[in-house]
Structure 1
Amino acid sequence: MTTTNKPNVAYWIIAVIALIWNIRGVFQYLSTTLLKDEMMEAMTEEQIALMSGLPMWHSIVFAIAVFAGLLGCLLLLLRKKLAVPLFFVSLIAILIQMGYWLFATDSMVVYGNEAVIMPLLVITVAIFLYYYSKGASQKGWLR
């Protein structure tokens, strides 16, 4: 009897959806850095003040989160074990970034409940991708 360490179809679907999700995250990061003026044209004064008040390290952590996630997804598609630590780095960066956004800014006052929905979704996806990649590695799907 032979056993294979080939991932199932769900693995590939999850990996592709995760890649699309992380490409969207990279686009969001690039929008906030490269298209900042254009974005601010559509914001209220309170939103502009909130975004302008974020420290530089917040943007750096945001970059680490999205680019580590993107690389993790690419490595997941290539079935490489290095995806696991990259998803872990992304998760830690997301927790720092979103924790600051939720607890150290007036995001709830400025955006209301919207300020919580996306951060919680991002955190949930990051946790899932880390544990999913860890499980895939344990099953021998990653080399």
Structure 2
Amino acid sequence: QPIYDYCVITEEHKEYLWSSKNYASILHHTGAFLGEEIIKVVEDIGSKKIDAVVSDNGANVHVAQRTLCEKYPHILDIRCIAHCFNLITEDLCKHTFVKSMIQKIGTIHQYFTKSYAACQFLKDVIKILKIKGGDLKDHTKNVDLQ
């Protein structure tokens, strides 16, 4: 169903669901329609309290954002980077190489998860090599190729 959520993030980084609207009865979700809907929400909150509006990358939403920014030039039009990453990831996962790699990683994960001995061996090696999570490291020996 075409449900649109309008969320607000405060200066204190608290997130609230301002409203959720079901547009199932609307046949065409045009940029003009969405622009007017966003403007209603902005005016309900108060345009001076809004610094930016974040949205996905749909063509109709781009038109809606342009409509909003024409009326309220101080409001920034920001595209949702998480949505972009999601679209990119979906496209990548369609490729056979990526599908194959994910399957192989799943097999390796399953092996170490189901085998106590293998899991303990892996933990011991991680401890010996002093591998810590959270960043990328090169655990190969440096080889002088000259």
Scaled by the length of structure 1, the TM-score of the pair is 0.28
More strand by share: 2
Quick one: higher RCO (CA 8 Å, sep 6+), 1 or 2?
1
More helix by share: 1
Scaled by the length of structure 2, the TM-score of the pair is 0.27
